[in-house]
Amino acid sequence: MKSAKISSTIILVVVIIVIINILSDNYSFRIDLTQGGEYTLSRATKNILQNLEKPVTVTAYFSKDLPPNIGNISGNLKDMLIEYGNRSGGMVVYKFVSPNESEALEKEAVQNGIRPIMINVREKDQVKQQKAYMGAVVSMGDEKERIPFFQPGSAMEYALSTAIKKLSVVDKPSIALIQGHGEPAINDLVQVNNELGILYNVQSLKLTDTTRISEKIKTIAIIRPTDTIPSSQLVVLDNFLARGGNIFLALNRVEGNFTNVSGTSVSVGLEDWLRKRGITVTDNFIVDAKCGAVTLQQQEGSFTMATQIQFPYLPVIVKFADNPVTKGLEAVSLQFASPITFAGDTSLKFTPIAFSSEKSGSLRTPLYFNVQKQWQTIDFPMSNLVVAAIIEGKLSGNVNSKMIIVSDGDFAVGSAKAGNQLPRDNVSLLVNSIDYLSDDTGLIELRTKGVTSRPIREMEAGTKTLLKWINFLAPIILIIIYGLVRMQINKNKRIKRMEVSYE
């Protein structure tokens, strides 16, 4: 009788496990404990999925038997696609293909724009390289969008949702990059243009005295002008703001010359125009203990040695306000920057969104770059200097409009040369700004949802040591506690049995 009961219990447990596994293949349930809600679909994604009018097919090309550190991407993608299907009422369907299984499947993946990457795999104490596919194709009818590679730690939801949005959108809003005053061409904003092109029609617009900015353009971007913008063209900008248009402005007020190691101020005609709205971008250099490095050529005998030295004139911004423009950003590298101040009245709302570190300072121009200087704490008497801000309200006329100002015109300007990649957060700051000014879908929240950079080396030495010992001792302490508890329970049972009366 007892044996039959045990057998039935085992069978029941096996049946339950089988049912759970079957259900887990078709339904997704997760508790998201990540700080940024990495595994919870955003409002923007839900809106996109609920408004789909045509079915979407996601074909994921993923190799099998990937190393654990990247193999979990496939599982996370599958869980996310199950949620996409549920939220869209079945309008999103998916399939997984392993291209490594046959030459035909490999050819199909490559033809669809999914190219393999080489990864290191440890096998029998040896490291070998293996070809791996980790991309997807999103299709709606005859239209396709490709996600060639899912970068570990990247914003997977943003990649999927923007691909679906790009296929489903009928009329993209337009944004204009102002030209005519030495601003970089679209070819010098390759990464930015690639990101913006997903949701917008990006066009160049030469600003003249007679320029009429189309009603279709909601936002214009003025990035690193080097020539003076005449007052007659500033009137065009005023008229654009007066009808509710928005402006992104990345402005240099200082420039550094490494040839003669000097720093000077810059003026392009926007200074008084901004000052009328209470904004001053000062012609001072921000210096910051949290900074980038430059390469210094030093002569050692008959040899020339290249040495990397910290250069406080290149601040690395790691402090941001809790704002959609900067949400998820961790480090933006500036080439040179100046403090932004506001002295306007309460009719305008001024919101600082990016700051220098707790150890920073402001130096007047002109100045000489002493690359040999040994910087001390006393050289950084200031903190939290504003390097980016939003101003909104009636900036011109009686209609509300918005501007975002960054006090470094070069932070998102790359080179057309291949391989010259800007830091991801630099690109995100500019593109997030355009989204904030132009797009109401909420996709801005997704671009930086993945983790970009949280190196443990940024911790204090004492904190790292403490965490190391906690990781080492915690399991041992838990086992000892468990053993002591079990020992006490068993002891209490023995005492209780001894106290039982058999009379």
Range ranked top by mean pLDDT from 8-12, 212-216, 416-420, 498-502: 212-216
On the question of pLDDT at 115 being above 60, the answer is yes
Residue 2 lies in a domain: no
Residue 38 has a pLDDT of 54
Residue 456 has a pLDDT of 46
Distance CA 465, CA 470 (A): 9
The answer to whether the beta carbons of residues 191 and 414 sit under 8 Å apart is yes
Q: Which of 59-73, 196-210, 233-247, 255-269 has the lowest mean pLDDT?
A: 59-73
On the question of pLDDT at 70 being above 80, the answer is no
Q: Are residues 330 and 347 in the same domain?
A: yes
The answer to whether the beta carbons of residues 234 and 265 sit under 8 Å apart is no
DSSP three-state, residue 433: helix
On the question of pLDDT at 15 being above 80, the answer is no
pLDDT per residue as tens digits for the range 132-187 = 888 999 999 888 989 888 877 667 888 888 888 888 877 788 999 999 999 999 88
Residue 138 has a pLDDT of 94
> Confidence band (pLDDT; 50, 70, 90) for 251?
very high
The total number of structural domains that make up the chain: 3
Residue 345 lies in a domain: yes
Segment 213-233 mean pLDDT: 95
Residue 417 has a pLDDT of 47
Q: Are residues 216 and 280 in the same domain?
A: yes
Q: Are residues 372 and 468 in the same domain?
A: no
Q: Are residues 210 and 252 in the same domain?
A: yes
Residue 482 has a pLDDT of 82
On the question of pLDDT at 122 being above 80, the answer is no
Using the Cα atoms of residue 240, residue 242, residue 244 and residue 249 in order, give the sign of their dihedral: positive
126: containing domain:
31-167
Domain holding 338: CATH number? 3.40.50
pLDDT per residue as tens digits for the range 367-386 = 999 888 999 999 999 999 99
Segment 89-99 mean pLDDT: 92
Q: For residues 64 and 502, which has the higher predicted lDDT (pLDDT)?
A: 64
DSSP strand E in 34-142: where?
Answer: 56-62, 92-97, 117-123, 126-132, 134-140
Q: Are residues 440 and 490 in the same domain?
A: no
On the question of pLDDT at 123 being above 70, the answer is no
Q: Are residues 135 and 257 in the same domain?
A: no
Q: Are residues 348 and 448 in the same domain?
A: yes
Segment 437-446 mean pLDDT: 70
Domain holding 37: CATH number? 3.40.30.10
On the question of pLDDT at 332 being above 80, the answer is yes
Say what percent of the chain tops pLDDT 90: 44
Contacts of 290 (CB under 8 A, 6+ apart): 315, 316, 317, 318, 356, 357, 359, 360
In the predicted model, what is the mean pLDDT of the chain? 84
- What amino acid occupies position 212? R
Distance CA 43, CA 24 (A): 24
Q: Are residues 391 and 478 in the same domain?
A: no
On the question of pLDDT at 341 being above 80, the answer is yes
Q: For residues 405 and 31, which has the higher predicted lDDT (pLDDT)?
A: 405
Report strand pairing: 303-317 vs 291-300: antiparallel
pLDDT per residue as tens digits for the range 448-467 = 565 444 444 455 667 777 77
On the question of pLDDT at 36 being above 70, the answer is no
Closest CA to 218 of 435, 444, 429, 447: 435
On the question of pLDDT at 213 being above 80, the answer is yes
Q: Which of 57-61, 273-277, 293-297, 496-500 has the lowest mean pLDDT?
A: 496-500
> Confidence band (pLDDT; 50, 70, 90) for 479?
confident
Residue 452 has a pLDDT of 47
On the question of pLDDT at 6 being above 50, the answer is yes
Residue 7 lies in a domain: no
Q: Are residues 161 and 71 in the same domain?
A: yes
Segment 360-372 mean pLDDT: 93
Segment 324-330 mean pLDDT: 88
> Confidence band (pLDDT; 50, 70, 90) for 51?
confident
Residue 8 lies in a domain: no
Residue 406 has a pLDDT of 98
Q: Are residues 181 and 234 in the same domain?
A: yes
- Please give the structure tokens belonging to residue 217: 């353009």
Residue 5 lies in a domain: no
The residue from 167, 185, 204 where one domain ends is 167
Report strand pairing: 201-206 vs 174-179: parallel
